[in-house]
Structure 1
């Protein structure tokens, strides 16, 4: 996972260096980018199911997977741009989810 966060940090740095906007606006636009990418997931799912009468089957499920990956990467970049301690923030949050959902489900399972 270290290579992942190194790549995310490099992407975030590149975006920071590219923009001349104030920090608050840069972060806000990065957060909006998550929604843009989520819209591309929706478009790909509709295309993979052939539900756009004009386009038919315009996407594959592999393209849906790629769009989901874009959402994840964009979210990670947003977190890094908000907080340079993003790996620690994410690890802590994931640990809380694990305790709440995974560990709790294991404890509730019949034995």
Structure 2
């Protein structure tokens, strides 16, 4: 019988992003990967990690402009699939940035999302 290499804690284990556990496991792995090979550490590394989020947001703007053909010199250069992909990059980058600020990122995010939901929807939630 062959040894199984896809144990749940193995970095090579397949995991489903359909669950919060899979999402946060991926964020933890990405954070660890970035921390292991960053050229700048300390406060400078932290600030650069936060600036990465702004870069990704700019790529969303570029993709929207490209998908709508708003730059007459370039025309239509992107698709709405590109916009969706860039938005996903923003979400991943934001979650990794949050994880950089706190090892309790999952709980911090869940609490914040609950507060925003309550503030925005209040008793209208069904």
- TM-score > 0.5 by shorter chain: yes
Distance 1:68 1:21 in 2: 26
Q: Larger RCO: Structure 1 or Structure 2 (Cα < 8 Å, ≥ 6 residues apart)? A: 1
Distance 1:17 1:75 in 2: 19
TM-score (norm 1): 0.90
Please, what is the CA RMSD of the aligned residues?
1.3
In structure 2, the residue matched to 1:32 is: 51
Following TM superposition, by how much is the alpha carbon of 1:51 offset from its aligned partner in structure 2, in angstroms? 1.0
Structure 2, unpaired ranges of 5+? 1-19
Structure 1, unpaired ranges of 5+? none
Distance 1:27 1:2 in 2: 25
| Residues paired across the two proteins, number | 106
List, as ranges, runs of 4+ consecutive aligned residues in structure 1 with deviation greater than 4 Å. none
What SS is found at the alignment partner of 1:58? Answer: coil
Q: Would you tell me which structure has more helix in proportion to its own residues?
A: 1
What does 1:87-102 align with in structure 2 at a 5 Å threshold?
Answer: 87-102=106-121
In structure 2, the residue matched to 1:79 is: 98
Distance 1:14 1:89 in 2: 21
TM-score (norm 2): 0.80
Following TM superposition, by how much is the alpha carbon of 1:9 offset from its aligned partner in structure 2, in angstroms? 0.7
